[in-house]
Amino acid sequence: MQEPHETPEAQERLGAWLDRYTVTPKADLERLLSNLPPQGAPLRAASRGGRVASGAIWEGLLDLWRPAALAALPVLLGFVLSSALPTENSDSWEASEQWVFAAGGEGYYP
Amino acid sequence: MFTEAEEGQRVCQVAQGDRQAFAELAAYYLPKLEQYGTRLSGRPALGEDLAQETLLQLWLEAGRFDPARGRLSTWLYRIARNRFLDQQRQGWRWLGLEFLEGRGGVPDRELEQLSDAREVQQALQRLPERQRSALLLSYYEGLSQKEIAQVLGLGLRAVESLIVRARRALGKTLEEEHARTP
């Protein structure tokens, strides 16, 4: 028994859909030709150093860094706020001296 | 379009550092490789990179091409596919569709085509990579089953089966998609 998507009509429709998925090439031949490395260069080094198109690399890095930056945002905000806002001990002479000591200051401790 | 003999001759010249011969091959294969890479990955930027890097490999390693093992086109598609698989293994996430952005002012008919293109692209991305490659190489690139077998490193029967399964799965997905959204 033939499934509905296997009929000749369905196969024709599939062909029509596939035909509509067109891709317009954009790669720059001149750029490729003007960036050719010396032929003796190892492939990996040439591919990295003489890279002619880096769009996908940047896209990939952005893909990785965007979520990381978003995840780190609350921590950064918390750090900034905790530094800016006075805490219970922040204005005491003793706390500030301890901080100098801990940060590698003169080592003075009352 | 080059004959096998013309291609072989140019590859020999490229191996000896002939930039003109390389330019002629690149002018022909750059758009084809980019189209294949874009459809395979679903990302135009990656398709562009894959095409350029594949031709860079031709420039650097033309001496390794063996015409007895197949045509230049199958060698190049094989390189492009291997590079795509390498990048996938490195954990890139390719979601695609950015080529559909920034389409302000597009007439309705073209919008409809873009919508179809997006559906096809998404359906293609759902296929296993081998099925997708086999279908793309067969339908869009016009490779014979023997040539596809060389690209994928499979037997003829396996390729035939991959194409049939790919068409069946793709047809089913798109029919269901269209049944949901009249």
In this prediction, residues A43-53 reach a mean pLDDT of 52
**Residue B174: closest C-alpha in chain A:** A14
Q: What H or E segment, with its residue span, contains residue A65?
A: helix A55-84
d(CA A19, CA A35): 34
Q: Is the distance from CB of B58 to CB of B13 less than 8 angstroms?
A: no
For residue B12, the model assigns a pLDDT of 95
Q: Is the pLDDT of residue B135 over 70?
A: yes
Q: Closest-CA residue in chain A for B14? A: A39
Percent of chain B at pLDDT exceeding 70: 86
- Nearest Cβ partner for B56 among A17, A26, A47: A47
Q: What is the ipTM of this complex?
A: 0.78
Per-residue pLDDT, A5: 65
pLDDT of residue B140: 95
Q: Set out the domains of chain B in order of their start, with CATH numbers.
A: 1-95 (1.10.1740.10), 106-182 (1.10.10.10)
Task: Give the list of residues 6+ apart from residue B113 with CB closer than 8 angstroms, or none.
Answer: A20
Per-residue pLDDT band at B160 (split at 50, 70, 90): very high
CB contact under 8 A, A6 and B168: yes
pTM over 0.90: no
A60–B39 C-beta distance less than 8 A: no
Per DSSP, A54 falls in state -
Q: Looking at residue B117, what is its pLDDT?
A: 83
How many percent of chain A have pLDDT more than 70?
A: 45
pLDDT at B136 over 90: yes
